[in-house]
A and B are shown apart, each in its own frame.
Chain A
Amino acid sequence: MRSQELCETRTYDHEDRSQTLANARPAELRFHGFRPMRSGGYPLVWRLPCMTSSAGLHFKTYCMILIMVVFGPLGNVLLGKGMKNVGSAAIWAPSELPHIFVRIFTSGYIWLGVASLLTFFVAYMLILSWADFSYVQPASSVAYLVVALLGYFYLHEKIAPLHWAGIGVICLGVFVVGNTPPRTTEAR
């Protein structure tokens, strides 16, 4: 009798749970917003000793942000330099596309640019594993200024005063989109 009861309870439990899951599914699938990246849910392997102290965390964060604001813009500038050699898309005809793709993929600047953007992307992913998205994003607003500076000094592009003003306002806008301390979520 007892074991039967237990069995029954278990069956009910099981059914209950599957019922709850079945009900929960559509709601779960609906995505309600960008949740801040949690800093604690990652394995110990990724937590270096220096990350446990606040100063170490800040140092690491600043290093990664530096890598991001250097390699992101550098990647775009290299892509730009590579594409200038490929020729303007303003006059591309559809029949030329295969030829253009070959020229894109055989350009050293394009591959350097892609490698640089990948470096940026890895730094971005790493930093998001301990810092909030809303902290990283405003810091990366500087990248728009760095791109303009690289274009001006390295590619000798002409930038009108209005253009500079626009870049400044964009940086400010991206900065305003979110600005919080490096860690607002509790470490688990």
Chain B
Amino acid sequence: MREALFLFIVVAAGTGGELCVTRAMKHVGEVTDFRPLEVVRVILRAMKVPWMWLGVSMMGLAFFSLLAMLSIENVSFVVPVTALSYAAGALGGVVFLGERVSSRRWVGVLLVCIGVTLVWLGKR
């Protein structure tokens, strides 16, 4: 049962982290200059945005949950089921960021969910 909890953390914290980092980077603004000094400046600016810290912590949590999951289950099971992030990403985009998701994308998300179910059943 623990692996289900870890999967939930991987998907929820991973996607939540990405959404937070996206929000932080939108706040920082588009990066157009890739000289090392400018990149450092952008990183410093990004570190002043609280969303960035929240996002990075959530991504860290997701990483360690992935490690925990990998210690229980086979990698050929763990990595495919974490594809659920696509469903979480589409939902998160709609709910939190007001994105419009195309019907084609929803079909893809549905296929991913069916695939994850099959992988989960195949393990039993």
A: which residues have CB within 8 A of B? 29-34, 41-43, 45-46, 73, 76-77, 79-81, 83-84, 86-90, 92, 104, 110, 144, 147-148, 150-152, 155, 157-178
**Is the pair A167, B105 in contact by a Cβ cutoff of 8 Å?**
no
**Is the pair B35, A104 in contact by a Cβ cutoff of 8 Å?**
no
CB contact list, B103-124 vs A, under 8 A: 104-105, 107-123
The total number of A-B Cβ pairs within 8 Å is 167
CB contact list, B75-124 vs A, under 8 A: 75-80, 83, 86, 93, 97-100, 104-105, 107-123
On chain B, the residues within 8 Å of A151 by CB distance are 74-76
Known contacts being A42-B32, A45-B34, is A162 close to B121, with CB within 8 Å?
Answer: yes
Known contacts being A89-B2, A169-B111, is A31 close to B122, with CB within 8 Å?
Answer: no
Pick 24 A–B contacts, CB within 8 A, sort by A. Answer: A31-B22, A32-B97, A33-B97, A76-B75, A79-B66, A81-B75, A83-B71, A84-B70, A88-B72, A144-B83, A159-B122, A162-B119, A163-B119, A163-B122, A166-B118, A169-B111, A170-B116, A173-B110, A174-B108, A176-B108, A176-B111, A177-B112, A178-B104, A178-B105
On chain A, the residues within 8 Å of B86 by CB distance are 173-174, 177
Q: How far is the CB of B58 from chain A (nearest CB, A)?
A: 17
**Is the pair B76, A104 in contact by a Cβ cutoff of 8 Å?**
no
**Is the pair B118, A165 in contact by a Cβ cutoff of 8 Å?**
yes
Q: Considering the chains assembled together, what is the distance between the CA atoms of A155 and B66 in angstroms?
A: 18
Q: Considering the chains assembled together, what is the distance between the CA atoms of A80 and B69 in angstroms?
A: 9
Q: Considering the chains assembled together, what is the distance between the CA atoms of A77 and B79 in angstroms?
A: 9
**Is the pair B79, A73 in contact by a Cβ cutoff of 8 Å?**
yes
Q: Considering the chains assembled together, what is the distance between the CA atoms of A137 and B104 in angstroms?
A: 14
Chain B interface, number of residues (Cβ within 8 angstroms)? 52
B: which residues have CB within 8 A of A? 2-3, 6, 22-23, 26-27, 30, 32-35, 66-72, 74-80, 83, 86, 93, 97-100, 104-105, 107-123
B68's nearest neighbour on chain A, judged by CB, is A89
**Is the pair A144, B70 in contact by a Cβ cutoff of 8 Å?**
no
On chain A, the residues within 8 Å of B111 by CB distance are 169-170, 172-173, 176
Known contacts being A147-B79, A173-B83, is A90 close to B112, with CB within 8 Å?
Answer: no
On chain B, the residues within 8 Å of A150 by CB distance are 75-76
On chain A, the residues within 8 Å of B83 by CB distance are 144, 170, 173-174
Known contacts being A166-B115, A166-B118, A177-B105, is A29 close to B26, with CB within 8 Å?
Answer: yes
Q: Considering the chains assembled together, what is the distance between the CA atoms of A87 and B6 in angstroms?
A: 15
Known contacts being A79-B70, A173-B110, is A144 close to B79, with CB within 8 Å?
Answer: yes
Known contacts being A79-B67, A79-B70, A80-B70, is A147 close to B112, with CB within 8 Å?
Answer: no
Which listed residue (B75, B118, B122) contacts A157, Cβ 8 A?
Answer: B75
